Amino acid sequence: MRPRSEPKASEAGLRPGFARAGTTRPGVRLLDVPTGTPPGPNPEISRQSTNLHRLAARPGEQDGLTLRIALVLLGSALTLFGAEARAEISESKRLLIRELIQLSGGGQEAELVAQSFLAQIRHVYGSMVDEVVASESDLSAEEKQALREHLADFDLFAGAFSAGFAERIDLDAALEAVYVPLYDRYFAETELREIVAFYRTPAGLKMIAVLPSLMQDGLEATVTLVQPKVMALVGEILAARRTELLR
């Protein structure tokens, strides 16, 4: 494959004091990240986070499905981490929330989270490969086909993703960054003490263990119960719309 020259920062449209956090096709800028910016509220990050969500909500333009997913995730992460930095939480309350996260199995979710991401990526992986290949404008048709075949094996990708996720993603830190401000927002410290005390009991531990299965079983049973009425409603609405057009 022929080497390509990388554009200089000035040629890539970067503003002074900014570094590119990601790249995509010409005309679509993912994010200019202020270099040397400390954690905490930042008007530039907030502005670009809002822009990312707006861009992700516009289907049919040159930003593809995978780009929209990436932008939403990135924008949400920036918003959440900015909110966490603004929160002023007492150390005693923070410790309670950390214990609650651990009791509820937060520290054991890394593999589940990785598998959840993989399940979502699997549906769009072919499109992601197509975008990567299409971006290689300097390659010949034969080289593009070879690249597509090289990238096509999702199982190989999944293995590398799982290994990289475990190595590079500190899920405990991410869970704390997300849930500490949320628990702080919705619960007083006295309430958290009562919840933690219950979770330490045999009944509380059992609830933590069975609640995910209970919720899943309940959801499936609810869908089965209401599905006939839902489908009847769908049919009635479509029939009414048809009548409006043809009468």
Q: What pLDDT is stored for residue 114 in this prediction?
A: 82
Tell me, yes or no, whether 44 lies in a domain.
yes
Residues 107 and 173 in one domain: yes
Decide if 97 contacts 148 (C-beta within 8 A): no
Domain assignment of residue 40, given as a range: 10-86
Q: Is there a domain that residue 187 lies in?
A: yes
The strand pairing partners of 19, in sequence order, are 33
Same domain, yes or no, for 169 and 76?
A: no
Whether residue 215 is contained in a domain is answered as: no
**Are 135 and 71 contained in the same domain?**
no
- 18 located within any domain: yes
Domain count, the chain: 2
pLDDT at 226: 94
Outline where the chain has alpha helix (H): 43-56, 65-86, 91-103, 110-135, 141-151, 154-168, 171-186, 189-199, 202-246
* C-alpha gyration radius of the chain: 24
Tell me which residues of the chain have a pLDDT lower than 70.
1-87, 106-110
- Same structural domain for residues 133 and 69? no
How far is Cα 6 from Cα 15, in angstroms, rounded to an integer?
17
Beta bridge partners of 133: none
Instruction: Identify whether residues 109 and 73 lie together within a single domain.
Output: no
Task: Please tell me whether residues 52 and 122 are part of one structural domain.
Answer: no
Same domain? For 78 and 108 the reply is no
Residues 96 and 64 occupy one common structural domain = no
On whether both 96 and 180 belong to a single domain, the answer is yes
129 shares its domain with 75: no
* Residue 41: per-residue pLDDT: 46
Domain boundary among 86, 114, 138: 86
Q: What is the pLDDT of residue 167?
A: 86
Last residue of one domain, picked from the residues 57, 86, 115: 86
The amino acid at 135: S
Q: Select from 30, 55, 86 the last residue of a domain.
A: 86
Do 177 and 94 share a domain, yes or no?
yes
**CB hemisphere CA count around 88 (13 angstroms):** 0
Residue 31 in any domain: the answer is: yes
Query: Phi-psi category of 7—alpha, beta or left, where left has phi over 0 and alpha has psi -120 to 50?
Result: beta
Residue 216 lies in a domain: no
Identify the pLDDT of residue 247. 74
**Torsion angle of the four alpha carbons 75, 78, 81, 86, in this order, in degrees rounded to the nearest 10:** -110
Going by C-alpha positions, the residue among 99, 238, 231, 244 that lies closest to residue 172 is 99
pLDDT of amino acid 246: 83
- Is residue 123 located within the same domain as residue 192? yes
In this structure, the chain runs to a length of 247
pTM beyond 0.85, yes or no? no
128 domain-assigned? yes
